[in-house]
Structure 1
Amino acid sequence: MNEHDHEAHNAHEAHEAHEAHKDHEAHEAHEERQPTAAALRAGHAARAESAAARAAALCHHVERHGAEHADAVWKAAHAARVAAQALAVLSESAPDPAADSRCARNAAAAAAQASQMGRLIAAADDAEPTALACRAALGASRAAAAAAGAGHSGRNEGLNSEAEAAEKAAVEAAEEAGWIRPGEQVPSVATGVRSPEVLAMLHL
């Protein structure tokens, strides 16, 4: 290798080293921008708590207005209990975006099931708002499932934001349907014994 080639080789190596250093710095900067597990938990926990509250309110609503529908009362109570269990599991564990998002997903799914019972007992003149509320609850459930889906595991900020917006929309629709009364204290739902089926659903 002559002197010119040697200089060119050294320059090439220096350039590659510089580019590698830039890539490393960019990767570190990206890692620093990623929300921590604790920060992500706040969002997942808020959605899980909101969904569990929706399910509890619906359970109370169905008990008060649909006593003649024994099956609907039982299913609404079961859904509220599952949502409460999902929230309890989240609060008892260390922050883990994947697990936390699954808990939020299952709370939203349970709230959607409770919403179907609310629609089932609705009077004819409440058909439209209850249908809209049920649709919004299903939307919140789907958005929560997407945020917790494989490949995202509760860390995708865009999907998390969509799930948060969908949950807020579900709350607003539930209020319009009369399922939730702002300011009303809804009796807490006992979590009961966590069945193997529920734990399997939560991937625990």
Structure 2
Amino acid sequence: MVPGLPGTGMRLPQPASGLLHGDVSPCPTHPPWRTGYSAPPLRADMEVPVNEHDREEREQTAAGLRASHAARAESAAARAAALSRYVERRGSEHSDAVWKAAHGARVAAQALAVLSESEPDPAADSRCARNAAASAAQAAQMGQVVDGDAEASALACQAALRASLTAGVAAGAKHLGTDEQLNAEADTAEKAAVKAAETAGWIRPGEAVPSVATGVRSPEVMAMMHL
């Protein structure tokens, strides 16, 4: 007897034969054992399509960001070079400070050279600028050592450390040199470091930047630059 709705005299439709036991007729295009679809693998000779517009836009953005990072790296390298000369002239009794200032100038010059030789890349460019600023900060600390308790030197050293810190933040893992506000803050801090160095007598406005030999780029230095 086919069940119906009580009090209505209506009969419920009967399921098709075979479906009472959960049977499903096989489908020639989607067999019951096939649970999903996977695209065929790419052949070795197949090329992945590239959006030319997106690539050009990325290249333009990288080139625009490089201007900020490169200018900051060049400024920091110049500060470090001037400080190395300053410490060498005044640090006859501070041989360790002379060596550390020269080392800072050399590493800053290496960072600038690496940036100049590579294609625009915000992450790599910002790391080079960061390392140049950090090396200039090391040289600034040596400038303070040879100047003793001079207030202007202490302020210049603090400004150099701030420039290094902001450059590090701009190059941090979260933004990788692409955040315009952080880059602008690093640019401002670098300019302040230059001004403070001039006040301390470490840099003489208009004086040629001393040349610094980059020397051999050691694996340690390249690792520090993440290159």
Q: TM-score, normalised by structure 2?
A: 0.73
Q: 1:77 corresponds to which letter in structure 2? A: A
Task: Please give the secondary structure, in 2, of the residue aligned with 1:36.
Answer: helix
Asked if 1:75 corresponds to 2:100, the answer is yes
| Aligned residue number for residue 60 of structure 1 | 85
Query: Matched residues in 2 for 1:191 and 1:45: separation?
Result: 17
CA positional deviation for 1:186:
3.1
CA distance in 1, matches of 2:196, 2:136: 13
Deviations 1:91-140 (A, max 9, x none): 0000000000000000000000000000000044xx10000000000000
Percent identical pairs in the alignment equals 76
Does the aligned pair in 2 maintain the 1:60–1:186 contact within 8 Å? no
Choose from 102, 114, 126 the match for 2:139.
Answer: 114
Q: Give the drift of 1:86.
A: 0.1
Partner of residue 132 from structure 1, selected from 123, 133, 155: 155
Q: 1:155 to 1:34 in 2, by over 3 A?
A: farther
How many residues were matched structurally? 173
Call closer, same or farther: CA 1:33–1:92 in 2, change over 3 Å: closer
Q: Following the alignment from structure 1 to structure 2, what is the Cα–Cα distance between the partners of residues 138 and 69? A: 21
Q: Is the partner of 1:80 in helix, strand or coil?
A: helix
What amino acid maps onto 2:125 in structure 1? Answer: D
Work out whether 1:180 is the aligned partner of 2:206.
no
Which whole-Å CA distance do the structure 1 matches of 2:226 and 2:121 have between them? 13
Divergent runs of 4+, >4 A = 32-35
One-letter code of the match for 1:76? A
Write the distance in 2 (CA, Å) between the matches of 1:113 and 1:139: 12
Residues 81-100 of structure 1 correspond to what in structure 2 (within 5 A)? 81-100=106-125
Letter in 1 for 2:127: R
Give the Å deviation of 1:34: 10
Question: What residue number does 2:179 align with?
Answer: 156
1:9-65 Cα offsets, whole Å, 9 max, x none, are xxxxxxxxxxxxxxxxxxx9xxx7996100100100000000000000000000111
Higher relative contact order (CA 8 A, sep 6+): 1
Q: Which residue of 2 aligns with 1:189?
A: 212
CA distance in 1, matches of 2:93, 2:132: 26
Q: 3-state DSSP class of the match of 2:147? A: coil
Code of the aligned partner of 2:90:
H
Partner of residue 141, structure 1? 164
CA radius of gyration, larger in: 2
Please say if residues 108 and 141 of structure 1, whose CA atoms lie closer than 8 Å, have aligned partners that are also in contact.
yes
TM-score, normalised by the number of residues in structure 1: 0.82
Query: CA–CA distance in 1 between the matches of 2:162 and 2:207?
Result: 25
Which ranges in structure 2 are unaligned for 5 or more consecutive residues? 1-52
